[in-house]
Each structure stands twice: as C-alpha cells, then as structure tokens.
Structure 1
Amino acid sequence: MTDKILVSIITISLNEEANIALCLESLKRFDEVWLVDSNSTDRTREIAEEMGAKVVTFDWNRKYPKKKQWAFENLPFANKWVMLVDADEQVPDDLAQEIADTLKRDGDKHAGYFLGFNYFFAGRMLRHGQRIYKLALMQHAKTRWQEYDDLEVTVLGDNEMHYQPPVDGTTAVLDYRMVHEDKESLYHFFDRHNKYSDWESIVQYNGSYFRNEDAQPFLRRYLKPLFARLPFKPFIAFFFCYVVKMGFLDGRAGFDFAVSRGVHFWQIQMKHRELVRDRGPAKK
C-alpha cells in the first residue's frame, strides 16, 4: 500500500457536481481532504462524503474572513502542509509523487511551492496560450491572508477570487503540473469571468490591487500592476496570449481563448471607467 502524502487538501465548492468526483479521485494519495461547501443544492456534498472527504459548511456573514482564509484559520489540519485544489482541478499521479518526494527530501526548506497548470478550454488543452502558475502548496503556519477591500463585490459571494496569500519564507516551483478542466459549459465560463471583471475593476479602483502583497512567481509580481495601468489592455492581452505565447499553435481553441482574454480586460476597463464616472477619481 502506498504511504499517504502528509498534506491536507482544501477544496471549496458551491454546486460543483459536474467536477467534484474527478477532483477528489485525483486526491486519494493525500492524508486528508477537506471540502468547504457553501450550501450546495446539487449532489456536491453527497459525492464528496461518499468519496471520503471531510465536508464542512461555510456560512458567510459578509465580512472577512472569506472561505479559504476561514478554512486556514479554523480547520483542525492534521498536517503542517496545506494544498489548495479547486473543484475543477486535478492532481495527476506524477505531480502527487513529486510532492511526496520533494517534502520528504527538502522538509521545511521552503515555505511554499508554485504549481503550473495544464489548462483546458473548449475541450482542448492549451499548450501555449495559457500557461499559468500559482502558489498552491504551502506551510500552514507561514501563510498570511490579506483583505482586499472587496466586500462590495457581492456577485462573488464568499470567494476570495484569484489572489494568492503570501508566505513567510522562500518558495520554489515544482516540475509537474496540475490539470484545470472545468466540465461546466462555456456559459458558466463567461458568467464567471464577468464576475471576475467586477472584482478586478473594484480592487483597481480602490487601490488595494496595487497596495496588497500577492504571491506571484518570477516577473509576474512586477508586471501585473504595470499591465493594469497600461492603455489598450484588451489588444495587448489578445496579442500576448495569441502571438507572444504562441497561442496560435493551439488551433481554434487558442484563438477563442485569446479573444476571451481581450474581452475580459475590455470589461474591466469599461467597469473601471463607470466607477470613475460615478464616484470620482480612482484611489492610488
């Protein structure tokens, strides 16, 4: 029998019936899996319980902390290492083995690890146009959560969006990659990104997007705030995704995804201008 990997998994959910079984199946090697659920009305909780996850309910009071931060601060983890895995993500066997080997070899040498993603869009894996990294594996005691002044973005509810908590200590990057494959329809993809653009326009307007420390790899931590201030962002986003990152090699899915990136940043710009028009100049 393969030894369990001494990592506690946090997965958050709200009506993730289409994704949750694949996600949890990929996590069987890990010591414990917590599902923090926001009162799903589909079979998400039932499936998770059948597959051995520890299911807890999060009832948000519309104040901080939101869901992931609450989990970090309140769940009785059995392990010092915690890994954030979204319901539409999976941990392949090669990555699970790398995590086990790395933690056994390096112990507490680093406070966290960045993981890359194989991103699926419109049924195809994007090998070029969308290659992202995020801090997903971290030591619980060395992780810090920040408030983004985003409580007015009600469409996202209790979700922290995509900002990543910084850690106190060094970080490293693992070689193998997670899988991001949402089984929901494209309607849900665009609906979700419309909500994301609400969040980004608000936090850029109130200045917390630029003030807060966010765990980002390499040059991204410096380029992200710079990009947010550039003109012509929709065109730049499309060009970077489709040409610079060679998304054209991903075929039709690569083109469609690059267009969606341009539209996303166009939405952010439009909503930001609306905030300035209604409320006055943006905060620095």
Structure 2
Amino acid sequence: MPDHPVIPVSVIIVTKGEGASLSSTLAALAPFGQIIVVDSGGDAATFAVAQSFGADTVAYTWNGAYPKKRQWCLDHVPLAHDWVFFVDADEIVTPELTRAIADLFCHEGPCADGYFVRGRYVWGGRVLRFGLTNNKLALFNRHVFMFPVVDDLGLPGMGEIEGHYQPVAKKPDARIGVLAPMLTHDAAADPARWYERHERYAQWEAGMNERGAWPADPVVWRHRLKRVFRALPARGAVAFLYCYVWKCGFLDGWAGFDFARARGWYYRRIAALSRRAFNAQ
C-alpha cells in the first residue's frame, strides 16, 4: 500500500504455538504501524516467524483468573497506538480491507469508536462467497472498549481466552460502525482440528447457557436476536437452513453444503451437552 501512510493501529495476534500458519497473516499486515504476536508460553518457533516480519513478541501465561488473554493484552502489552485491531492467526486481511482501515485515519479520523470486521470463511480450500460470515468488533479504540468479565471460570472449552462474545463499551454513547470489505478466515485447514476445537467451544457455550453468563452484545438488535436463537428448540436445523438457504450457501456448491452442515452439527452439540447437564442435575 505505497499510496497510504503507515496506518496508526496496533495489530494484536494472539497465538498458541501457531508459527507454521502465521506467515500469510503477517505478510498482509505490513502497512500497520505496530504488529504484536502474543503467544501462550512464548513458543520459540512462533516468535521466530513473527520477528522475521518485524513484529513485536510477547509471552503470555494465564493465571486462571481475569483478565483473560485479549484484555490482558490491552492492560499489559506496550501499545504504540490508541486503536487496536485483533486478528487471528488463521485470518488474512485483504488489501481492500486494509485500504478501508487506512481511509478511516485520513483527514479527521474515524467517525466511530469501533468497527465490526466481517470475515469470509475458507472451507475445503475454497473462499465461500455466500453463507454465514464471521462478524467481530475487532477494530476499536482501546480507551472506549474492553472485554467483559463473565461467569465462565471453571467451564471446559475456552480456558485462557475470551469466548464468543464482543467487547463492551466503557461509555454509553460509544459509536459502532461496520467495514464493508472482508478478511478471509481459514479456520478449517485441518477438518479434524476444526471439529475437535468446536467440541470444546460447544462445551463452553453449553456452560454459558446453563449459567446465563452471556454479556450484552454492544448492538441491541444483535443481543435480542442471539437470545431468541439460544432459546430455539431446534437450533442445529435453524443454523443449517440459515447458512445454506437464507444466506444462499447452496451457491457455493459442495463446500457451501458441507460448511452449513458443520454449523448445524455445532449447535446440535451445544443442545445435546445442555440436555446432558440438565439431566445430571
């Protein structure tokens, strides 16, 4: 991006020994003012890859309490900029998204305090054009947003890192926007690992449902929709139909069907684990 100055954003990538898959992620982040890789345990191979791209490296060890990993980064990692962008090691920021973020900081700066960043899933080696997209409040002013403390300590599944919920605003008038360009999210390069990881996520989500521990989503309509969805008796079927039919996942062929089927399986697992916990009481 030679036509833009350095983007005044600190990119934070939280990892757990993922050096082998980190190069593509880091290569796409060159225009950003600071890149930090925060690795659990300080894996030497991961740090070597990060440093070869000029990224700062920080070792993290969870003490079993809050703050968890992402908020710990905001509290303890030396950040050069007020704005942070959380990027996962299996995500690649596209040139279009990079330009959109750079444009935010031209002239008078961002008109919002945080932005939802959407991601297109890569499934079976194919970037899905339709179906479900990933939506995260991943780019924000660190003085305005924080990751909440929730009642999930002791639950299986997520452990040291915040789960599937968004950061919350520190002030009532926080402004939130949405960036149109998407990144790509290759969470299923190894299908067996995807199912193993989502089995753990399902255990955690079932526990969150049992405890009623979900924090409020920063967008009211999203919060209400999630509450309705968690109460549905056939969440797995609804998730499949939403992804495959409503969001036109069928236009992605077999990859779209297989992805929608995996999403349906995930929510069926949450329901099954929730029933098991209820019957055990």
Offset at residue 63 of structure 1 (A)? 0.6
1:207 counterpart residue number: 212
Offset at residue 88 of structure 1 (A)? 0.6
Does the Cα contact within 8 Å between 1:114 and 1:171 map onto a contact in 2? yes
1:168-187 alignment runs, 5 A limit: 168=171, 169-182=174-187, 184-187=189-192
2:274 counterpart residue number: 272
Length-normalised TM-score, structure 1: 0.92
1:22-101 alignment runs, 5 A limit: 22-39=24-41, 41=43, 43-101=45-103
SS at match of 1:18: helix
1:5 counterpart residue number: 7
| More displaced stretch, 102-111 vs 136-145 | 102-111
1:282 counterpart residue number: none
Gaps of 5+ in 1: 280-284
Q: Deviations over 1:112-154 (max 9, x none)?
A: 0111212111111111112232111100100122112112134
Offset at residue 90 of structure 1 (A)? 1.2
Moved over 3 A (4+): none
Does the Cα contact within 8 Å between 2:123 and 2:189 map onto a contact in 1? no
Q: 1:245 aligns with which of 247, 259, 263?
A: 247
Offset at residue 256 of structure 1 (A)? 0.7
Change in Cα spacing, 1:234 to 1:172, as seen in structure 2 (3 Å) is same
Change in Cα spacing, 1:128 to 1:106, as seen in structure 2 (3 Å) is farther
Does the Cα contact within 8 Å between 2:42 and 2:60 map onto a contact in 1? no
Aligned-partner residue type, residue 228 of structure 1: R
SS at match of 1:259: helix
* RMSD over equivalenced CA pairs, Å: 1.7
Does the Cα contact within 8 Å between 1:117 and 1:177 map onto a contact in 2? yes
Does the Cα contact within 8 Å between 1:112 and 1:137 map onto a contact in 2? yes
Query: How far apart in 1 are the matches of 2:116 and 2:235?
Result: 26
1:256 counterpart residue number: 258
Length-normalised TM-score, structure 2: 0.93
Change in Cα spacing, 1:128 to 1:108, as seen in structure 2 (3 Å) is closer
Q: Deviations over 1:143-196 (max 9, x none)?
A: 122112112134423121221102341111112111112474111111111111
Query: How far apart in 2 are the matches of 1:58 and 1:254?
Result: 37
2:140 counterpart residue number: 138
1:94-113 alignment runs, 5 A limit: 94-113=96-115
Does the Cα contact within 8 Å between 2:123 and 2:188 map onto a contact in 1? no
Does the Cα contact within 8 Å between 2:14 and 2:38 map onto a contact in 1? yes
Offset at residue 106 of structure 1 (A)? 4.5
Aligned-partner residue type, residue 158 of structure 1: E
Does the Cα contact within 8 Å between 1:19 and 1:182 map onto a contact in 2? no
Query: How far apart in 2 are the matches of 1:157 and 1:48?
Result: 24
Does the Cα contact within 8 Å between 1:18 and 1:183 map onto a contact in 2? no
Offset at residue 19 of structure 1 (A)? 1.9
Gaps of 5+ in 2: none
Does the Cα contact within 8 Å between 2:70 and 2:147 map onto a contact in 1? no
Q: 1:194 aligns with which of 199, 212, 225?
A: 199
Query: How far apart in 2 are the matches of 1:154 and 1:204?
Result: 13
Change in Cα spacing, 1:78 to 1:215, as seen in structure 2 (3 Å) is same
SS at match of 1:176: coil
Change in Cα spacing, 1:121 to 1:90, as seen in structure 2 (3 Å) is same
Does the Cα contact within 8 Å between 1:13 and 1:40 map onto a contact in 2? no
Query: How far apart in 2 are the matches of 1:131 and 1:173?
Result: 13
Percentage of pairs with the same residue: 36
| More displaced stretch, 141-150 vs 64-73 | 141-150
